[in-house]
Structure 1
Amino acid sequence: MAFEQRSSSRRERFTFGVPLIAREAACDWGRVNDLISLTLRSVLAQGDRDFRLILAGHDLPPCWHELTRGDPRFHFLQADWPVERPSAANDDGGSKKWRIKEAVRREGGGLLMYLDADDLVGRNLVETARRLIGPGQVGGVIDKGFVIDFTSLCAAKLPDSRIFDGDFHHLCGSSTIARIEPDSLDAMRRDPHRELGSHHVWLETAAEAGVDIVRLPVPVGYLVNTDENHSENHGPYAGWRRDFNRAVRTFGRPIEDDIATRFGLSRALLEAKAFARAL
């Protein structure tokens, strides 16, 4: 898989890497399509348009061609292994992330953000990451953001101890950006994801290793209660997840355009996608 090289800019390449569940494994492929359409619209709203997105999956969602319209920044990476049902280990998603990272390596590296196919990114995320993740740093974390309950469209800003006892990146996987340097002799710089581990321990692990991670003041929107979120249907924390979603509805507030526009969306669009399948 080869990507178009941008001769017009020498800035560090920024890649969104999105793993997508297979149609055969999804509970509701139509809902998956609705969710990733919001994610893609959010990415398309970036103020800094010099980025690329790699979608790794077994199937292309129907919205892909409608929204990307042949845009050379958007690439589909075909999964070539048998479809597996979702599991607590999330091996399918991990394999797709690995393939995305290998593609980034082959093209010289750069900043890589894994983005779940149902999460939203602030409109200035690419610009902020490029500006604040300096040459001496291996990446950044997003420690503040919004959690959005998809059934009620209530949103809560985290951190909020009434909802979750921790920073945003302790909860949401779409909260880290790593600099991939394929030719570095330093393992940390070759693959920060491997060396730093899970998103919720990046800051602590970086401190122990003596490397610098920057906190990025840009929001991510973490959608929950969609019926397609992996952790809501599988694994040992399903009960905790139900309580968490209830707390978001209790302490959050109805999402309006003041929040939705931060992600390049509108309340009306979120409402249309959230309630369309329930009709």
Structure 2
Amino acid sequence: MLVFVIPLKSRQFSKSWERVTQLFERCIKSVCHQTSSEFHVIVVCHEKPDIQFNHPNITYITVDFPQAKDTKYINQGRTDKGRKILKGLVEAQHFSPTHTMAVDADDCVSRNLAEFVKNNPNSNGWVINKGYKYQEGDKYIYVKRNDFYKMCGSCNILRYDLNLIPENPEYNRGYGYYKYYIDHAKVKNILKEKDINIKLLPFPGAIYMLATGENHYYDGTRLNFSIFNRKTLNQSIRDEFGLYDL
């Protein structure tokens, strides 16, 4: 079974809590729109968001970790994210997952992930090599044909033991303690150095939402959209990823 872990930023750290909540509601609807019922979702947050959507496969874990003091400092937000991912992964063991996937709280994912994992329970895991990137309100969506996992945090599906969870997890440490859970682009190579190979997911697995106003990090290069990778945002893509306009 696949367990998704969604770390949600706090109201205090948000530029707009209303916007964060809207993005999160679309994200969790997307995650729960799986073709297989064999999945669970763990949301780790400081405060539970007020949304209308409910699903029996969702568990909310509220935490009181020290919160970032200044939104200008990226590492403060990323450390908070790392703590929450680690907490979610620890909690995930209660659902006996074969695999887990961390999902950024503003992205959308393919509805085919849980079924794919169900059919491949013994795999080390996968990185999402091909996906989409999208800017809110655009009539086009852009294909990222390679190295999607290097730009988007919703990208690694790992066999549970390959999360390398510490024997005694700590939640009051600095940025370096959580780097494995934060630096998503490096996970594939870190495991390769341990002679553990994870595969490329054989289909587009996620949509990276850009310039939401609440991203922890993005730069101008990520907003450069080539017309050669552009395609009309059709209903088929919307249905597979649960993408709707906010």
Measured against the shorter chain, the TM-score band is 0.7 to 0.9
C-alpha contact (below 8 Å) 2:38/2:115 kept by paired residues:
no
- 1:128 corresponds in structure 2 to 116
Partners of 2:88 and 2:217 in 1: CA distance: 22
SS at match of 2:198: strand
Q: 1:170 aligns with which of 146, 150, 174?
A: 150
Partners of 1:50 and 1:250 in 2: CA distance: 37
Which amino acid in structure 1 is aligned with residue 186 of structure 2? V
Q: 1:83 deviation in Å?
A: 2.6
- 1:223 corresponds in structure 2 to 209
Sort the Cα spacing of 1:253 and 1:208 in 2 relative to 1 into closer, same or farther, 3 A: same
Sort the Cα spacing of 1:180 and 1:167 in 2 relative to 1 into closer, same or farther, 3 A: same
SS at match of 1:80: coil
- 1:10 corresponds in structure 2 to none
Deviations 1:32-88 (A, max 9, x none): 11111111111121100121111111112221xx211xx331111101123324432
The alignment status of 1:75 with 2:59, answered yes or no, reads yes
Aligned length in residues: 230
Structure 1 segments of 4 or more deviating over 6 A? 192-197
Partners of 2:221 and 2:179 in 1: CA distance: 31
Q: 1:257 aligns with which of 230, 235, 243?
A: 235
Which amino acid in structure 1 is aligned with residue 74 of structure 2? A
C-alpha contact (below 8 Å) 1:180/1:189 kept by paired residues:
yes
Partners of 2:153 and 2:142 in 1: CA distance: 17
C-alpha contact (below 8 Å) 1:151/1:225 kept by paired residues:
no
Larger relative contact order (CA 8 Å, sep ≥ 6) = 2
Q: Which runs of 5+ in 1 are unaligned?
A: 1-12, 160-165, 182-187, 233-240, 274-279
Of Structure 1 and Structure 2, which has the larger fraction of its residues in helix?
1
Sort the Cα spacing of 1:91 and 1:217 in 2 relative to 1 into closer, same or farther, 3 A: same
Q: 1:250 deviation in Å?
A: 8.8
Q: 2:126 aligns with which of 140, 145, 152?
A: 140
SS at match of 1:227: coil
SS at match of 1:221: strand
- Report the identity percentage: 25
The TM-score with structure 1 as length reference comes to 0.73
Sort the Cα spacing of 1:261 and 1:28 in 2 relative to 1 into closer, same or farther, 3 A: same
Q: CA RMSD in A?
A: 2.6
Q: Mapping of 1:7-86 within 5 angstroms? A: 13-63=1-51, 66-68=52-54, 71-84=55-68, 85-86=70-71
SS at match of 2:224: helix
C-alpha contact (below 8 Å) 2:3/2:42 kept by paired residues:
yes
SS at match of 2:44: strand
C-alpha contact (below 8 Å) 1:155/1:248 kept by paired residues:
no
Q: 1:248 deviation in Å?
A: 5.8
SS at match of 1:23: coil
C-alpha contact (below 8 Å) 2:127/2:156 kept by paired residues:
yes
Sort the Cα spacing of 1:52 and 1:214 in 2 relative to 1 into closer, same or farther, 3 A: same
SS at match of 1:118: coil
- 2:222 corresponds in structure 1 to 244
